[in-house]
Amino acid sequence: MHALVTGGAGFIGSHLCDRLLSMGYRVTAIDNLHLGKMQNIAHLASNSAFAFQLIDMLDAEAMEALFKTDRPDCVFHLAANSDIAAGNDDASLDLKLNQLTTTTLLDIMRRHDVKRLFFASTSAVFGEADGRIHEDFGPLQPISFYGASKLAAEAYLSVYAHSFGIRTLVLRFPNVIGERSTHGAIYDFIRKLKDDPTRLPVLGNGRQTKPYLYVGDLVDAILFAWDRSEGNYAVFHAAGIGETSVRDMAEIVVSKVSPAATIEYGSSDRGWLGDVPRFSYDTGRLEQLGWVPKRTSTEAVEYAVERILTNGF
């Protein structure tokens, strides 16, 4: 199998490349290095089953040339703007990097008869939904351009799946953590404590409570669903078990990085515009297929912090 991984130099994409290669796939990764880093894939440079191309997915000609010469059997589409706050500052960012990358890709897959696709979606499509969010929850009312653009991308995926036969797996996951991440609370906390080991200012009151998933466990979930999902268009959720508050996360990071630091909380119930203060995620559909989350959300936080402190970002 020859897989194309878009966003392959990014946080999750580079971990997915590692795993696909270890499973015997030939992998082509593309990335425009918007947030991705060559150092995430530097260890793969000598692997003859791996190739990287610096391509902006909005460059339809470059994408066309890639599909003509590289002829992938399947695509794992992870390229996106993953920074929700940056997307709210510039509404064109999510439109271009999340929605238009997807429609450009779908059009080229259709013309080149590539029939299998994975799409990295997000819990942000649900906005501030109350209660436990299951896979068929609705109405979907995103509160960030990021969530809106991913939802729009899902709508296009549905059309290409149902009308043009591109078999599509959509996995909606919440906060993913681990080494090679480019942003997020753990990243932010460790950076701040390295800069000033005496204090940790936290965005918001720290009572935001969400499920976290370690990146390696997410890759397990992607490939588990990839092997077992049926039908032309399948939507699944993946998350760690339970939720973790930002306060718990701050205490875990402080205890491991700088135990004497004072944690200073803000007053808002959210860290930034588009932040969802509290949600709980139902992963029942994937569990019905036999998937078992490896860690609780809080175990994932502890594990990710240890991995980052050992291996660096």
Ligand X SMILES: NC(=O)c1ccc[n+]([C@@H]2O[C@H](COP(=O)([O-])OP(=O)(O)OC[C@H]3O[C@@H](n4cnc5c(N)ncnc54)[C@H](O)[C@@H]3O)[C@@H](O)[C@H]2O)c1
- List of residues contacting ligand X (CB under 6 A): 7, 9-13, 30-36, 56-58, 78-80, 82, 97, 101, 120, 122, 173, 175-176, 182
Q: How far is the CB of 206 from ligand X (least distance, A)?
A: 19
Nearer to ligand X, 249 or 261 (CB): 249
Residue with tokens 């039908």: 231
CB 159 within 8 A of CB 196: no
Q: How far is the CB of 171 from ligand X (least distance, A)?
A: 8
Residue 75 burial (C-beta neighbours within 10 Å; 0-12, 13-18, 19+): buried
Q: What is the CB neighbour count within 10 angstroms for residue 170? A: 24
Nearer to ligand X, 15 or 26 (CB): 15
Rg (CA), the chain: 19
Q: How far is the CB of 200 from ligand X (least distance, A)?
A: 21
Residue 17 belongs to what H/E stretch? helix 11-22
Residue with tokens 């996106």: 80
Q: How far is the CB of 64 from ligand X (least distance, A)?
A: 14
Nearer to ligand X, 258 or 303 (CB): 303
Nearer to ligand X, 102 or 258 (CB): 102
Give the span between the Cα atoms of 296 and 313, in whole angstroms.
22
Nearer to ligand X, 33 or 165 (CB): 33
Nearer to ligand X, 222 or 261 (CB): 222
Q: How far is the CB of 168 from ligand X (least distance, A)?
A: 14
Question: Which amino acid appears at position 307 of this protein?
Answer: R
Q: How far is the CB of 262 from ligand X (least distance, A)?
A: 28
Q: Phi first, then psi: what are they for 77, rounded to 5°?
A: -100, 105
Give the span between the Cα atoms of 123 and 209, in whole angstroms.
14
